[in-house]
Structure 1
């Protein structure tokens, strides 16, 4: 996937001001394929920080706002107003901006999870967007070419009847008490919601599993723990999953596992073959038919004998040249730009508001399960 030369989408941003990690990531990936121009923003709830952040990016001061409400009203009324907005705030500030911009007829690109609470997510799902405004949830790991390949292989039946699904997301950055802007809001129930690690990275693991497997678990049993003394929200998550077809699953998410940086890994086993993929080695997918040697499929490499290459793989450079986190993220932005322009209908591979609602229901069910004596709850 390369720069298209097509009309650029006028983009705004809510959040992502000075010192915000994910806002900078969104600005980078929006530029990779040349599909967007960032022209407006409300970068902080503090007007002076928003103005300073806008100036640092080089925006017109007249289009740097002190609140998302002001921005939605003003930009919707301009003939050259933004067509899409990226919401890159802490969890508790997703629902308000998303509603405001959808109702203003502006497409929304929102960081995960969808909202901080299930009630907010359910209310947002009932919003009627003006002028057909669309919604993208940035579960960016679904943009990896070999994750899309794995999805196709599962759908094509190459693994046979699914039996086991194992997904894990292990980090170590919260192993000790941490004082930083990034840690502070993630450990605060008022801003993060009822889930800590499960909302931050567990929801990524769940979405990745759902994307590839194509089946929704029918029940789960969760054990969420805050292992660092004094911590209120979970920093380690263990969940058992049951699927309607009889398959069993396990999800482990931890931010207190020393030696792990960003260890997102997915393993799927059927009665014919198994798949194994790791985000830290994203350009290789291990495929093992039962009784045969392991095959290593590579990003952009030959796929003969494994069902052919998946559509919409987002490969930008020749095989052997690594692509990773930013490029996978950019694939979602590029495909959403095509939807905004009307070049294509939204593909089911793009994470939607419905996927976001399911993710928040997963968090809510896991939290309740962990607090329950019976554990197993329907999902």
Structure 2
């Protein structure tokens, strides 16, 4: 049973077989609060890996699939078929499985970015899900408690009218040419599997989504400079983007996978007329809040401060005990489980949606187009 006494939701997975980092993360996130039980999977496009991975995870032999379309048909026809599916494949393999499972009436949990192309993203949004099947996009950083609090602070007017938004996500793991045997690097640097964006699609979309999630500001246009520093690399590994938001706020985004010395440097800084906030993902249980003319205040996860309800923030343990990446991921899974059960009305507005996914791909496409045209200002969705 789940921690809340509910029956676990029967879960399937597409992708995420042996050696896949993000599939492992999704499985942990789904199990943390006991809300899901993995019972079926098409875990690899390679049949032998799919079968071996399913066996290693203890799946019943007749529920280990070598094709996602077969899995969607078979599971939809079973009385005990899966109720939700996690799609944890490379970007170019998000669209077809998501469409197949939505049309089969199975809820979809999909890793970001939504799809490899804008055409596919818009086509997925046009799908009519059977039985009102729901969709979750796993922009997992939106599950951090202090990100939820930052969103609440902005919405309450505590910062005043937003003027400046600065986002960055810096890593160094692709600072040299990737080893051909590096599975995680090979598809991310391949346009056929990653899509039009490299670093911008892999991590830049996280920074962008986080800013949009917290501020609620709508983007008008971007001016982007995308670079591939590593010789021979076909996709960007460093990104500088200026953003114009409706209402006059300005934004700056830096995403890099060649910033030597950086590990997972996701940061968000927001400055309004009355106050500012600063948050770093590598130490996510702390956030600086500063009112103009007053000393800085250090806000802590679950600390003695006015905050949204603990349930919406996803707080599980007392303040001072660190919560991080896996717990934030699990918060999305747990709250989506409540939505699936028809009990998550308070959570639906907090969870990243298919529309957020379409905008993320629009952001990538507009930025790539801008960079190709000498950083010309380019509107999203044009």
Q: Please give the range of the TM-score, normalised by the shorter of the 2 chains.
A: over 0.9
Whether the aligned pair in 2 keeps the contact of 1:149 and 1:309 (CA below 8 Å) is no
Per-residue CA deviations over 1:107-140 (Å, capped at 9, x if unaligned) read 0000000000000001111000000000000000
User: Helix, strand or coil: the match of 2:51?
Assistant: helix
Number of aligned residue pairs? 376
Q: Could you tell me which residue of structure 2 aligns to residue 156 of structure 1?
A: 156
- With structure 1 as the length reference, what TM-score do the two structures score? 0.98
- RMSD across aligned positions (CA): 1.1
Work out the CA distance in 2 between the residues paired with 1:68 and 1:59: 15
Counterparts of 1:147 and 1:14 in 2: how far apart (Å)?
29
Question: How many Å separate the matches in 1 of 2:375 and 2:203?
Answer: 25
Question: Is the Cα contact below 8 Å between 1:149 and 1:310 reproduced in 2?
Answer: no
CA contact (8 A) 2:225 2:375 kept: no
CA distance in 1, matches of 2:369, 2:324: 35
TM superposition shift of 1:11: 0.0
Question: 3-state DSSP class of the match of 1:265?
Answer: strand
After TM superposition, list the pairs within 5 Å mapping 1:184-333 onto structure 2. Answer: 184-304=186-306, 312-333=312-333
Hey, what's the Cα distance between the residues in 2 that align with 1:96 and 1:374? Answer: 33
Distance 2:311 2:215 in 1: 17
Unaligned runs of 5+ in 2: none
Aligned equivalent of 2:338: 338
Distance 1:310 1:269, change over 3 A: farther
Partner of 1:167: 167
Query: Residue 242 of structure 1 contacts residue 248 of structure 1 at CA under 8 Å; is this kept in 2?
Result: yes
Q: Secondary structure at the match of 1:317?
A: coil
Quote how far apart the aligned CAs of 1:60 are.
Answer: 0.5
**Where do 5+ consecutive residues of structure 1 fail to align?**
none
Corresponding residue of 1:369: 370
- Contact kept? 2:302, 2:310, Cα under 8 Å: no
Instruction: Give the match's secondary structure for 1:312.
Output: helix
**2:224/2:375 contact within 8 Å kept:** no
**Superposition pairs for residues 66-77 of structure 1, below 5 Å?**
66-77=66-77
Distance in 2 (alpha carbons) for counterparts of 1:161 and 1:353: 28
5 Å-filtered alignment, 1:47-62, equals 47-62=47-62
Determine the structure 2 residue equivalent to 1:89: 89
**Displacement of 1:195:** 0.3
SS in 1 for 2:313: coil
Using the TM superposition, give the Cα deviation of residue 373 of structure 1 relative to its aligned residue in structure 2, in angstroms. 3.4
Partner Cα distance (1:181, 1:263) in 2: 22
Q: What does residue 42 of structure 1 align with? A: 42
Q: 1:8 to 1:236 in 2, by over 3 A?
A: same
Q: CA 1:364–1:125 in structure 2 vs 1: closer, same or farther (change >3 Å)? A: same
> In 2, distance between residues paired with 1:221 and 1:133?
37
Query: SS where residue 348 of structure 1 aligns?
Result: helix
Structure 1 moving runs of 4+ over 3 Å: 307-311
- Displacement of 1:308 after TM fit? 5.7
TM-score (norm 2): 0.97
Contact 1:152 1:310 in 2 (8 A): no
